Structure 1
Amino acid sequence: MSEHLGTRVENSHAPMHTGSGDLHVTIGTQLQDPDRPTFRRLADDHLAWLKKVLVAPAGMGAARHKLTDTGTVILDGPPGSGRTSVARVLLREYDLGTGVFHELLPDEEDELSLSNPAVVGIGDRLLLDLSAATAVQWAAARADLSALRKAVHEQHAHLVVVMPYGHPLEPDLQHYRIKIERPDGLQVLRRHLRMHGVRYEPASAVTAFLADPRPMREIADFADLVRRARDVAGTDEDFAQWCITARKARNDRRAEIAALVAKLREGPQRALLITVAMLHGAHADVIHQAAQLLLHTLKSPPDEQPLLQRKDLAERLTEISASTGPDGHVRFMELDYDAAIRAHFWDHMPDLRQPLGAWGARSVESSDPYVTRELRDSLVERLAEQYLRTGRWEGLGSLAEDWGTTTASRALLEAAVHALTCGLDDPAHGRSFRQWIYQWCAHRQLKGEFAQVLVQVCADVIAASHPDQALFRLYHLARRERGTTRALQALCNLVATSGRLRRRLLDRLARSPLSPAELRIFLLACDPAALSAPHDNGHTLIEENGPRESLTSGWRAVFKGLPHEVWHPYAERWLHTAADAAPCGDLLLNLLVAAAGRCEDQRGTAFAALYASARAAESTAPHGAARAAAITDRLLQKISAAQGLGQPAAPLPTASSGGTTP
């Protein structure tokens, strides 16, 4: 790590300073730019955009009513009809500030089965997208749907299932099935164009494009091409010409690009061609420097000609069908030419792939003022596109790991996050990336700042739609981290968003012996205020049998495995909360006493230390010493009862007085 920051943390939601001397928490290079929108914000923005451009298909109104009336709807419809978009928009409409959005993935690591009631939290919005499921997967899901629907109903949640088209559905589930029909293609195109600020006019290119039924995604992509064609068009071009340009950009250009590359025999020409394709729209200064950097990366010999005898950039750009605009930025003369060139070099010069990753890293780290955050993101996306397009997702993962391991610069760490985000967001390879990230978090040795990259990806990307998977990946990072608390803090922030996630974390901690690192995770996860706060159903976590048993096991492990001075601040907060959390105050005290009572041969020491914490907590009680003293008396009564004693005649010995048995 390249930067270190010593600090003392003394609040209940962070690592606590509990002994003498300073507590040094290594923070390292910070990834998150305060001005940079988080992935969650971007995901929310994308969903808002989806709602604006969605043309409600036939059946959407019925689906909305079914979801309102029953909490469950099963969407059926042909591929390309917009089923998954409808599902996401419907669930967004039920975001009432409680629960979380959760895409169910029952066959992935650390995901609960659909029949497990713990998969649903109060007010959750659940998406089960089985549109691409096999017959076996669909049969398994149908077998669990009754149990899942029951949990959804009990938790006042909402569930949308997207079923595979043409597959069977049992009679008892037909009540929830709504058929989604493909909306009119022209209406969809006009809606997208209007949202892009493009006024629609009748055009033969549009008629030809819509002559065949198109999936909704293709229509959206075409509308975006028309928008981009308008942005680069001359003043004498109109809507009809923009559409012609957009249609041409969709053509197969492999032969055309191959012929162009064959004519450009010199290394500098091809380096410039690749650079413009990878940094399309960048300032001419950036293009020039990046092309030189690519030649250097490839160890090409330098140009020996005198400077004034070399071709200038304008002439060289003309040779590759590119030019510099009035704004000083370089673009190809034809729309989407850059994408075709990237695909050509990636497919036909595979030895370029590894050097392009190294060149991309150095380009991202450039301090040139024209290398903006948007340009860096675009470069990463264009590299990721090639890996994913050709099914080489492992190469993209390795590239991100290299970037996060070999540097501590924020620009390259953010590039590593962005590369993994592209992989996670890819429909074909997202699952593979989630599994690989699990292996990194749980088992692999992490070097450099790559752990920080994984924390960011889990907390900000995976958690947006798969909070359970984010939970356990952050748990593994937190139990393995040394000299830093970023994963631990991210884990605590995540469980604070959902009682269901806190319940799952406590259950995981209770199911195995706890290391010192896991004991500290437990102490931060068992926030007494959150445990005693009522949910929408009026109940609290500490009133539930499962969490209460997990908490008792955890506190027992704390009493047996950590020094009193380490756990005292957390017990102190429990005692303060007990004084103000009626009717849960007694439950909090009961749990601490029960945990101490399970400490076998250390039982007396645990009781004495717990009583000592209560006496010490009186001086820091926010509600006054009198109420705190009453809690101490109440605790002493419970300890006496646990030992089979009557009303205590004298106070317990403190942990420092040498007494071990009350």
Structure 2
Amino acid sequence: MTTSYTGDGQVHVRDNSGVIFQMGLMGELPRDVHRLLRTSLDERPSATTLLSDVDRVFVQPRNFDLLLDRLATAGVLLLTGVPGSGRRTTALKLLSKSGDPEHTCWELDTDREHDDEKVSLDVPEDLEGDGLLLDLTSHGLGDCERWLDAVHQARAQLRDRRCTLVVLVTSTFANQPGRWWSTLVKQLHPPTPRAVLAAHLRAIGIAAGDAELDDVLGPVADRGLGTLAHLATLIADEREAQPEAGLRSWAARAHTVLDDRPATLTPWLNEHRDAPARALMLSAAMLEGCSAETVWTASETLLRQVRFTAPQSPVLERRGVSERLGELGFDVERDGAVRLRRDKGFHHRHVRAHFFADHPDLREPLTQWVVQVGQNRALTVADRTVLALRFTEQCLGIGRPELVSEVIGEWLRGSDFPPLAGCAHGMLRSGLLHDRHGAHFRWQIWNWARQPPPDAPSAFLTMLGDVCQDVIAPRYPSQAIVRLHHLARHRRPEVSEHAVTLLRRSVQDRRFLRRLVQRFWDVFEKRVRENDVVLFGRLLTPETFDGGEQPGRLLAERGVRGHLTRSWKVVLEQPRQWWQGGVFAWLHGALDPHRREVVVDILAAACAGDLTLSSQLEQTATHWFDAVTGDDTRDAAHVLDLLRARLDSALGLHFLSAQKGFPS
């Protein structure tokens, strides 16, 4: 994540996938908030950068060679193991081929819009020798059965394309003898925690001996490999904050952060039972790193939200906010930022977790509190973003992702959403990257894109498009297409044009382009709308299918060609004003001799020998030719002659095929 300063007086924090958050004059966000926005290792399973990141910290499981041999022999491997044992990382390494830049691995989409929707493997047609990952660890037993039936049906197809498939399943599901897949199940035997921690520390430039590693491991040795990765990250944070302290001190503080319930937290909470103190401590914990004035504003808002009215003394007799924070264990540092003292024996995340996890009756008031503080324009955008993201973190931690959606929904009903678009983007991004709750946010974005809230501002809808492309598309391209397509239908031109721009940018990836072709056919099979016909003609021009390859090559691919032909047939049956622009664009694309044959063949085949469709298409082509001027006239004549010949042939009018200027 990088930070740049521009002439608008804002600090722009840019993450790895190009998302820009305008953060105001305060500067960079706290480190723990950065991690909520940063691209996770799991977000791009097909990216070369991901595999190189995995290589930096990967330690082979004890039975890695056996797993690799079984995958090579059977082509399909069902991998199981305890959560946190490294199943996903191991699967990526099993599927990758080092030294082969053309080889990629892809995660198959398992989300469905409806529970009763039929499942099938979404295997792109151009896969050849690639690796596929199917993660079923969050699915119920019935769902796993249906997906493995789909795997069974696709095995021959995968074998023909030399594709390997790793399916991640839970141990509960895997322990079923006598099934067709029983012999394909293998248990992961993870590497030792010491070796994993050593690899993560080496990746951040820290070398440690076995004795030091054992000391650092201590309380977390049995908590899973993900915890060890987080421990290394926290150690790196502590090294940055106290570079002279040494590994033992860095690790001690990191263990404090990782501790679920430090022993010193409860006595501290019991010392401060009055409502004003607790409102201030929670506000300080939620806004740690922000200014004292911001913390005080949030605290006063929280007291009003819970309807607490304290006896008021004269203003001049009241204690200052810095003094009150100091009594609670928070210091106001020289830069004005509020920070919990490092000697407290617990971390500010523990304070947040206490109020969200241990006080269920506070969750609704806290949700409305975040709504109100977010709408307070006296706070900087950075302050509001810190609060919004830490609130999101707590909601995900207690299994209440719908509270995040509720906050964004309340902001939409206000009159000042645009300044909050960055906050909402960060909240959705954080939710989408969550292993357990990502599906909720994908569903929520689909629902908002399909049926936008009444009077939802354009800033919100364009932000949804950005989230689709930046976060959903890399891992779930088909779902991103569906959501962007809904946004491209929107009646407001600024929303629809933004979605079209994102789709055009995305189809530079040929696999995304194939999915978009499939999407239009799926839509046309169910219902044909004018805006879909117009979008079809605008997005799927012949030039779109070049992609740096020989022009026309991708159009000639059997699956793509079949979907386009069927789609054009449906399109040409609609009123001419809907599709004339699309036909003009296709005929213009046929001016290139490399595309000419395949473009004309698809259009002619779409008419399927139908006299009415053929006549309308020929008339439209004639109008197009009449409008062509300059150097393209000769090529345009060749296109028109070829189209007439193909249409005549399909109608059985072979004797007319060589005639120029056949009357329309």
Q: Say whether residues 1:433 and 2:444 are aligned partners.
A: no
Q: Which of residues 614, 620, 644 in structure 2 aligns to 1:609?
A: 620
- Pair 1:194–1:115, CA change in 2 (3 A): closer
Query: Per-residue deviation at 1:278?
Result: 0.5
Following superposition of structure 1 onto structure 2, how do residues 61-76 of structure 1 map, counting pairs within 5 Å?
A: 61=65, 63=67, 72-76=76-80
Following superposition of structure 1 onto structure 2, how do residues 366-385 of structure 1 map, counting pairs within 5 Å?
A: 372=382, 377-385=385-393
**Which amino acid counterpart does residue 370 of structure 2 have in structure 1?**
G
How far does the alpha carbon of each residue in 1:403-455 deviate from its partner, in whole angstroms, 9 at most, with x for none?
34535644412222222233333333223333343333335655413433432
Query: Per-residue deviation at 1:519?
Result: 0.7
How far does the alpha carbon of each residue in 1:344-376 deviate from its partner, in whole angstroms, 9 at most, with x for none?
22245545434434543565567779764xx65
Following superposition of structure 1 onto structure 2, how do residues 314-393 of structure 1 map, counting pairs within 5 Å?
A: 314-333=322-341, 334=344, 336-350=346-360, 352-361=362-371, 363-364=373-374, 372=382, 377-393=385-401
**Which amino acid counterpart does residue 564 of structure 2 have in structure 1?**
L
Structure 2 residue aligned with 1:273: 281
Q: Which of residues 50, 60, 63 in structure 2 aligns to 1:56?
A: 60
Q: How many residue pairs align between the two structures?
A: 612
Following superposition of structure 1 onto structure 2, how do residues 113-128 of structure 1 map, counting pairs within 5 Å?
A: 113-114=119-120, 121=127, 125-128=131-134
How far does the alpha carbon of each residue in 1:233-282 deviate from its partner, in whole angstroms, 9 at most, with x for none?
696x5433443444444445488545544443554422321111101222
Structure 1 residue aligned with 2:635: 627
Structure 2 residue aligned with 1:38: 17
How far does the alpha carbon of each residue in 1:493-525 deviate from its partner, in whole angstroms, 9 at most, with x for none?
334421431342233133133111111221134
- Pair 1:491–1:93, CA change in 2 (3 A): same
| Contact 2:584/2:621 (8 A) holds in 1 | no
Query: Per-residue deviation at 1:185?
Result: 1.0
**Partners of 1:424 and 1:296 in 2: how far apart?**
32
TM-score (norm 2): 0.78
Following superposition of structure 1 onto structure 2, how do residues 209-608 of structure 1 map, counting pairs within 5 Å?
A: 209=219, 213-230=222-239, 237-251=245-259, 253=261, 257-295=265-303, 304-333=312-341, 334=344, 336-350=346-360, 352-361=362-371, 363-364=373-374, 372=382, 377-406=385-414, 409-443=417-451, 445=453, 447-449=455-457, 450-483=460-493, 484-485=495-496, 486-497=498-509, 498=511, 499-531=513-545, 540-544=554-558, 546-564=559-577, 567-582=579-594, 584-596=595-607, 604-608=615-619
Q: Say whether residues 1:161 and 2:167 are aligned partners.
A: yes
Structure 2 residue aligned with 1:658: none
**Which amino acid counterpart does residue 463 of structure 1 have in structure 2?**
A
How far does the alpha carbon of each residue in 1:188-221 deviate from its partner, in whole angstroms, 9 at most, with x for none?
22222333444546457536426x6331122223
Q: Say whether residues 1:88 and 2:92 are aligned partners.
A: yes
Unaligned runs of 5+ in 1: 1-31, 654-661
Higher deviation after alignment, 605-614 or 301-310: 301-310
Higher deviation after alignment, 272-281 or 61-70: 61-70
| Contact 1:556/1:598 (8 A) holds in 2 | no
**Partners of 1:350 and 1:172 in 2: how far apart?**
46
**Which amino acid counterpart does residue 219 of structure 1 have in structure 2?**
L
**Which amino acid counterpart does residue 323 of structure 1 have in structure 2?**
D
**Partners of 2:293 and 2:51 in 1: how far apart?**
36
Q: Say whether residues 1:101 and 2:102 are aligned partners.
A: no
Query: Per-residue deviation at 1:285?
Result: 4.5
SS at match of 1:561: coil
- Pair 1:416–1:213, CA change in 2 (3 A): same
- Pair 1:591–1:208, CA change in 2 (3 A): closer
**Which amino acid counterpart does residue 151 of structure 1 have in structure 2?**
Q
- Pair 1:413–1:534, CA change in 2 (3 A): closer
- Pair 1:225–1:631, CA change in 2 (3 A): closer
Q: Say whether residues 1:189 and 2:189 are aligned partners.
A: no
How far does the alpha carbon of each residue in 1:559-599 deviate from its partner, in whole angstroms, 9 at most, with x for none?
443444x64443233223323243x5223213223435666
| Contact 2:542/2:586 (8 A) holds in 1 | yes
How far does the alpha carbon of each residue in 1:21-68 deviate from its partner, in whole angstroms, 9 at most, with x for none?
xxxxxxxxxxx9794543798245776544422222223355556667
- Pair 1:437–1:335, CA change in 2 (3 A): farther
**Partners of 2:195 and 2:166 in 1: how far apart?**
25
**Partners of 2:133 and 2:201 in 1: how far apart?**
29
| Contact 1:101/1:464 (8 A) holds in 2 | no
| Contact 1:76/1:164 (8 A) holds in 2 | yes
TM-score (norm 1): 0.78
**Partners of 1:81 and 1:265 in 2: how far apart?**
41
Higher deviation after alignment, 215-224 or 302-311: 302-311
How far does the alpha carbon of each residue in 1:62-85 deviate from its partner, in whole angstroms, 9 at most, with x for none?
555666787654434444321112
**Which amino acid counterpart does residue 57 of structure 1 have in structure 2?**
P
- Pair 1:642–1:182, CA change in 2 (3 A): closer
**Which amino acid counterpart does residue 79 of structure 2 have in structure 1?**
L
Query: Per-residue deviation at 1:543?
Result: 4.2
**Partners of 1:573 and 1:502 in 2: how far apart?**
18
**Which amino acid counterpart does residue 82 of structure 1 have in structure 2?**
G
| Contact 1:283/1:330 (8 A) holds in 2 | yes
Unaligned runs of 5+ in 2: 1-10, 20-37
RMSD: 4.1
**Which amino acid counterpart does residue 451 of structure 1 have in structure 2?**
L
**Partners of 1:625 and 1:542 in 2: how far apart?**
25
